[in-house]
Amino acid sequence: MIKNDLFLRALKGETVERPPVWMMRQAGRYLPEFMEIKEKYDFFTRCQTPELASEITVQPIQRFGMDAAILFSDILVIPQAMNIEVQMKPNFGPYLPNPIRSQKDVNNVIVPDVEETLDYVMQAITATKEKLNDEVPLIGFAGSPWTILCYCVQGQGSKTFDKAKEFCFTQPVAAHELLQKITDTTIAYLKAKVKAGVNAVQVFDSWGGMLSPTDYQEFSWKYIQQIVDALKEETPVIVFGKGCWFALKEMSQSGASALGVDWTCSAQNARYLTGGKITLQGNFDPARLLSPPSEIKKMVTQMINEFGKDRYVVNLGHGILPNVPVENAKAFIDAVKEYKLAH
C-alpha cells in the first residue's frame, strides 16, 4: 500500500484534506543534484541507465516531498524504439537526422516489441519503486501520437511545426498510418509501464495547440482517445494538451481520470468547459516561479481556492523552467502542503 495516496485519491474524485502537488519536469534541470549527474552523462545515457533514471526521479521527492514522482525519461524514446534515430544535441534539443517525409519513410517505421526495445524503462521503474519504498505513487508518461509525429517529421523542435502540418495536410494517408503506428506502440509501452509498477500515466500533447480545433480532432484527439480507451481500466490516465482548451469538453467525456490545464485557461473556464465533474491538474504559469517566494505562496493559495480543493491536482501549466531558484520551487510545494481552506 502506498503511504501517501493523496494523488490517487484526487484522481478518483474523493474528498481530500488538501489537493496533492507535483510539478511537470520536477526531475531535472533546476536541481543542483541533477546538474551533477548531467555533467557526467549525456541525455540518453541518463534515460537508458535504470540506476541513473531512478536516482533522478527520486531527487525532487527527497528534497521537497511532492505527492507523486514522475519517472525521468523522454517522450522521444518511443520513436527511437520504432527505428527512427533521435539525438539530443546540447543547447539545441532533439534532432532527428532522417526526418519522415514520405510514405516510403513511414513504411520503414516499425511497431516494436516494447518489452524488449524499451526494457531499460521497465528496469528504471523497478529501481524507482524500490527507492520510493511505497512512500508516494509513481507516474509513467508518453507523448501524444501527434506530438511525436511533430518531431519525427519536422526533425527538431519548432515554433510552428510547419513541415509536420504540411505532411499531414498533403499526405494524410501516410500521416494517419504513422500516427496509428505511434499509437499502437504507445499503448503497448504504457501497458508495460503499468505492469512494471507505475500507479498512473500521463499523455503529454505538448503541440496539440498548434492545430485548429477541426484538425485537432483528426490528427491528435482520436489517437489520444484510443490510448485512454486501452488504459483506463488498468490505471488512472491524465491527458495534458498544451493550448488545447478548445477540446476540454470532449476530453472530459473521454474516460480519462484527469485533465491537465495550461496557464492560458482560467480555473473558472476549465471547470465550466469540463462540466465540473472531472479532476483537473495545473495551471500555474511556470515563469511565475520566478516571482518572490512570498508571492508564489499567495498565488498558489488563490489558485487552489479558484479550482477548489477536491478533484484538483496542483501543478504547473507546463514544465518547470531550468532557471527557477530551488527555494521558489520549494515555496510552490510548501504552499500546497500548508493549504488551509480560507473560511
Q: Which residues are annotated as a binding site for substrate?
A: 25-29, 44, 74, 151, 206, 318
Residue 240 and residue 205: Cα distance in Å, rounded? 6
H or E stretch at 194: helix 172-196
Place of cell 531499460: 120
- Identify the sign of the CA torsion 28, 263, 146, 256: positive
Give me the count of residues in the chain. 343
| Cβ-based neighbour number of residue 65 at 10 Å | 15
H or E stretch at 261: strand 258-261
Binding-site residues, in ranges, read 25-29, 44, 74, 151, 206, 318
Residue 5 and residue 1: Cα distance in Å, rounded? 9
Residue 36 and residue 233: Cα distance in Å, rounded? 40
Angle between helices 145-154 and 222-231 (to 10 degrees): 130
Phi–psi pair at 274, nearest 5 degrees: -100, 5
DSSP characters over 55-96: HHHHHHHHHH--S-EE----TTHHHHHTT---EEETTTEEE-
Q: Give the CA-trace dihedral at 185, 190, 196, 197, to 10 degrees.
A: 180
- Identify the sign of the CA torsion 120, 122, 125, 129: negative
Q: CB–CB of 131/58 below 8 Å?
A: yes
